[in-house]
Amino acid sequence: MFSKSIQHKKLRLELSENRDRLYKLAFAWTNDAMLADDLVQETLQKAMQSLGNLREHAKLMPWACRILRNCHHDWLRRHREHGDIEDFEIAGSVDPEQDYLQQDTSRLVRDAIARLPQKHRDVITLVDLMEFSYQEVSTALDIPIGTVMSRLCRARAQLRDRLKVHVEQSSTASPTQLRRVK
């Protein structure tokens, strides 16, 4: 009993230490800072209440990500709407032109990710943003590794195609605009 209590304390501490990582993932899925914070709070609360259900302590983060995913899906079912991706602003730099270009690029990437099907968005954010292994993503989403790889491949192809259109449109810009981009 005593060692179980110590283990629960360690797991609670590890969950708390990974709050920022969960927030980063929630924000990537929602593009809404307040919603992401609410989802992480709900996730941490559910995870801490259910620590006794975790069989393999080494899989704490994939397990927490699965809880976060379930909380997000529950929210989507309840609200049936998505946040406005245009509302997010990136912290500025000293150079307004560079700041504008960075914001524009970030907006384009966020928009492209937001338009992915949810199952593709889940996989690409876990692999590319959270740097989870395919096995961890498989565990977190409760899908086979082959499905993780195929969804990731499709998601990256869709992003590449969507961003390629923007690059092609940018290449038709006037020479003055191109000089400013360089």
DSSP 73-116: HHHHHHH-----GGG--PPP-S-HHHHHHHHHHHHHHHHHHHTS
**Within this chain, do residues 128 and 146 fall inside the same structural domain, yes or no?**
yes
Average pLDDT in the chain: 80
Residue 71 has pLDDT above 50, yes or no: yes
Q: Picking from 22-31, 90-99, 109-118, which range would have the lowest pLDDT averaged per residue?
A: 90-99
Across the range 24-38, mean pLDDT stands at 90
* Domain end position, chosen among 29, 53, 88: 88
**Within this chain, do residues 164 and 98 fall inside the same structural domain, yes or no?**
yes
pLDDT tens, residue by residue, 54-69: 888 788 888 899 999 9
Range of the domain at 130: 93-182
* Domain end position, chosen among 44, 72, 88: 88
SS3 at position 14: helix
Q: At what angle do helices 134-141 and 60-79 cross, to 10 degrees?
A: 50
**Within this chain, do residues 113 and 67 fall inside the same structural domain, yes or no?**
no
Per-residue pLDDT, 94: 55
Across the range 33-50, mean pLDDT stands at 92
Tokens 């954010």 found at? 125
Q: Where are the beta strands (DSSP E) in the chain?
A: none
* CB atoms near residue 155 (< 10 Å): 23
